[in-house]
Structure 1
């Protein structure tokens, strides 16, 4: 039977009316079946503009679509209010906001001090709606901040591959995992990085928050940075304060009595242990660096831990389980195998980082894939280094290039005359020949990136014996290149310790060897690192912690554009 066109149109309009009236029908049913007030109009009025007065950061236009989406999922009913009171989940979220510092976040960024007044205003429809939307906005921010951090690493001119993949659907997470959760804390735990180091930092953070109110020690007398270190003696005038600090921080055992005295040998050993945990030469002597570290407030250590946790949030799962991780302030490289709970260290070695004295040499944070090695590499001197360092030597010392095993080539790699004007212009390149005197040593490990930073051998082996090792132009020099090469090539049957040694000593110059599969590498920056059950603190040598804190102090919306231009490093 053929339906008349008017009947078809009537049927279509009827279906449309039924669909568009679903929400209206729900709202009518809400009044019939529930004693709860209908806050729909107030909620819509608060959600639609993307701005809610009374919050520390009232503008939420960046997440307004997600906020609206969550309320759509809930038919624009109140999410966090029931019977004129906060739901159990709402109360749990308010507790999380107040204790945000325990997760390395700032409570006031989530209106921690404002909720008591908002709860008092729940009796009015406007107050209830305002409370509900404010909680939703802050909960979305909280979930996102826990998962991917607050500040964008690109702002600091870092190269974190996969960071944009960290973005999450906060509306879906709240709807499916939090709003009706029996354990909100557990749900939020699952949003955080699952890396072992992150969890250890979180545990240490709780401990240091407990230590804050216990620190009653008097600061130790300052020692001039140019003064020599002096042995610790029983006559040291600040001995009691020194013992109190060492006992509080766990370096000195006092049998539970923080005021108990210990003999000089015991205190000296405790001081050495403290030095070990703070990247200071372990000589048991008093000097400028150790006194500064001892006088650093617990609150500053809390900030260091929180800043380190923030950077872990920038890494996707692949890089949280990286095979190679360099921690710049610690001057250490660690190699790992396994993933998740089985992600474990297999060896470590000392490294040399970019010099802190010149900000153009600061090694940036990088997360990328190592793809190949180069045995007996040339060093193609970057034009900026050639102009700043090579040309002045050429002007003062005829024959400098030959003496240092350099040659000059054109942009195609063909021999060219050593014309200083063309070198300064960048049309002629300075290249160091392969061999033992090459600044890159006999092998380099490549993970191509915008900074031209990589791992490499060096002809300056003595630097690895120093406690502080920031001397390079920006690349990372490794202490035991043959061991690292053997490990990254372990799945290639053509390579073993002997063939690697031969390639480094007598092989072809500038020979590239591809890895069987790319290896995740992270050049990290953490001035707080948990190691073997102990927390270690290091100097903020590049000021990256200070940059992060300044950015966070500026509040939302956090800047996205790079704060400085990319500078090519190399060697």
Structure 2
């Protein structure tokens, strides 16, 4: 569509004369009828914007001054910017809006009255607000997808979008609506790259099932080699042997996909190698939607926990300054770690573990019924905090609903929380902490906890946080630790915490990495995006 076409099909008001321009033919209304036409225009805008609260508010507050259908170059540029954006919406993993753009054009072509003009004005604003909102803050309601996605996505008053397009250079302002985070821009590039691969037929022949390791030869190794070549992990080669170059390529692939980096193409590695481009494309589109849910203000310093990657990172001004392995909640309905953002306020060194009631009633009460001396390492306390004499209590009379006691594990090296926990108080009772179960960090898939995030290097994590408020953070921490006393240490600089779930992201080195959908949440997000109208080349199911 040409910009000149937009200007030729819209009404204009000049010198008190209402004029409707249709491809060069102008229908004019006499000055005596101009006031009635203006009134009809305003009434039409009010009528057709009535169901759109923000749009109606904007026009009421601006005395129904048109921003799309007024005469002049500015309105023409706004229309051009909007129609172009609608035609390109699918590039952002949003529903294809080209049919809507065509419908709006048809509506403009058929305009014959002031009422038609008002309807067009309202329709353009509604289409624009919907597009801007979806692009900036996401197409979906996170909470409606999975009960573990408890994130509240950031929102923007839609009136702001209308004021922005009115008061700024339209094309530049429309471009500014694209999420500015480096991760979103990188995912956008990766989406385009994968779409090109889909158009070319993908990554070619899959690799036969079965273990392949250094020294192997034969057709399966050739299929592995060819797959790695098309994926960009291996330069073109004529080798039919699993040599050192193939081994190194397998290791790079394993690293980029969260697999054990052993250079052996076992069942897990081959399963990930054989996933089609379209599956990776789905992950990227889902990651873009998830990125839109997050506030653009992440915090100059923030903590990022990616559940699918089993890592926790400290990020300073966009750079990862500390990273450690993590353990997340077990893949059971009542144990999966939720996704949300909060603010870390303090750490507790030598913490007690106040056992959550769900664990008390589901796991410990049945044991106490059978044996009152079970789980002796945990104290049973009454409402006043006094320790209960196990031998005088009849646990057989209690159920999940009437168990009257609390349970607490005092500070110790065997404490379930280890020797330090990091608190960002929230209603989900989720926090980061140490653990005595160090062996779990060597596992490839690390989903074992009751929901909290366990850290492989909690002391070093603490040192990094304390470094901004004490000259010798290690000595400070160790002095408190050696006391054995439960001690709360406030963070002078509160740190935002973002617990996210990304099966696709672009690393600091600019390479796309993928992880398994450990809780099945991304599959649900993709299904919801499809129901909302998102469709991608080669991805129909």
TM-score scaled to structure 1, two decimals?
Answer: 0.77
Q: How far apart are residue 160 of structure 1 and its match?
A: 4.0
Distance 1:65 1:167, change over 3 A: closer
Q: Secondary structure at the match of 1:323?
A: strand
The answer for unaligned runs of 5 or more in structure 1 is 1-25, 52-59, 557-571
Q: Secondary structure at the match of 1:516?
A: strand
Pairing partner for 1:360 from 330, 334, 337: 334
Structure 1 residues 244 and 292, CA, compared in 2 at 3 Å: closer, same or farther? Answer: same
Alignment of 1:486-505 (within 5 A): 486-493=463-470, 496-505=473-482
Give the whole-Å Cα distance in 1 for the aligned partners of 2:518 and 2:202: 28
Deviates more, 1:481-490 or 1:452-461: 481-490
Q: Give the root-mean-square deviation of aligned CA atoms.
A: 3.4
The corresponding residue for 1:311 is 290
Q: CA deviation at 1:443?
A: 0.6
Q: Are 1:374 and 1:513, in contact at CA under 8 Å, matched by a contact in 2? A: yes
Structure 2 residue aligned with 1:454, among 431, 449, 467?
Answer: 431
- CA distance in 2 between partners of 1:422 and 1:176 (Å): 67
The Cα shift of 1:487 comes to 1.9
* Maintained 8 Å contact 1:103/1:202: yes
Query: Which residue pairs with 1:198 in the alignment?
Result: 184
1:387 positional shift: 1.9
Partner of residue 384 from structure 2, selected from 390, 412, 416:
412
What is the distance in 1 between the residues matched to 2:195 and 2:300? 28
The 5 Å alignment of 1:268-347 reads 268-319=247-298, 321-338=300-317, 343-347=318-322
Per the alignment, in what secondary structure is the counterpart of residue 517 of structure 2? coil
Q: Cα distance, 1:376 vs. partner? A: 0.9
Deviation at 1:447, TM superposition (A): 0.2
For 1:218 and 1:163, the matched residues in 2 are separated by: 41
With over 3 angstroms needed to count, the CA separation of the structure-2 counterparts of 1:293 and 1:162, relative to structure 1, is closer
Q: Deviations over 1:314-365 (max 9, x none)?
A: 2224326452111110011111223xxxx32211111111112x02111111
1:533–1:451: structure 2 CA closer, same or farther, 3 Å change rule?
same
Q: Which residue of structure 2 aligns with residue 548 of structure 1? A: 525
1:515 aligns to 2:491 (yes or no): yes
**What corresponds to 1:98 in structure 2?**
87
Matched-pair contact (CA < 8 Å) for 1:329–1:526:
yes
Q: Which moved more, 1:522-531 or 1:28-37?
A: 28-37
Q: 1:482 aligns with which of 447, 454, 459?
A: 459
Query: Are 2:500 and 1:524 equivalent residues in the alignment?
Result: yes
Deviations along 1:221-248, one digit per CA (max 9) or x if unpaired, are 664xxxx844266545455544443233
Deviation at 1:463, TM superposition (A): 1.1
Question: Which one is further off, 29-38 or 471-480?
Answer: 29-38
Structure 2 portions without partners, runs of 5+: 1-11, 29-36, 534-541
Contact kept? 2:82, 2:128, Cα under 8 Å: yes
* Residue matched to 2:8: none
- Change in Cα spacing, 1:293 to 1:372, as seen in structure 2 (3 Å) is same
* Residues 516-549 of structure 1, C-alpha deviations (whole Å, 9 max, x = no match): 1321111111111211221110111112212323
> Aligned pair count?
496
Matched, 1:253 2:235: yes
Report the Cα offset of residue 456 of structure 1. 0.3
- The within-5 A match list for 1:53-132 is 61-65=52-56, 68=59, 72=62, 75-76=65-66, 78-79=68-69, 87-107=76-96, 111-116=97-102, 118-120=104-106, 122-125=108-111
Partner of 1:473: 450
Query: 1:147: which partner in 2?
Result: 136
Q: Cα distance 1:123–1:196, how it changes in 2: closer, same or farther (>3 A)?
A: closer
1:163: which partner in 2?
A: 154
> Residue 271 of structure 1: CA displacement?
2.2
In structure 1, C-alpha distance between the alignment counterparts of 2:410 and 2:279, rounded to whole Å: 47
Please list the CA deviations of residues 469-495 of structure 1 after superposition, one character each: whole Å capped at 9, or x if unmatched.
111100000111111112222233386
Match of 1:172 in 2: 163
Q: Structure 1 CA distance, aligned partners of 2:420 and 2:466?
A: 13
Distance in structure 1 (CA, Å) of the matches to 2:67 and 2:347: 59
Shift of 1:34: 8.8
Contact 2:221 2:240 in 1 (8 A): no
C-alpha distance in structure 1 between counterparts of 2:472 and 2:382, whole Å:
34
- Cα offset for 1:550? 3.3
TM-score, normalisation: structure 2: 0.81
Aligned residue for 2:440?
463
Partner residue in 2 for 1:5:
none
Q: Using the alignment, how far apart are the partners of 1:27 and 1:80 within structure 2?
A: 7
2:44 corresponds in structure 1 to: 45
Post-superposition Cα deviations, 1:240-278, rounded to whole Å, max 9, x if no partner, equal 5444432332222229xxxx6675322332222111111
* Structure 1 residues 217 and 481: alpha-carbon distance in aligned structure 2, compared to 1, 3 A threshold: closer
Q: Deviations over 1:427-481 (max 9, x none)?
A: 2112112101111000100000110000000010111112211111000001111
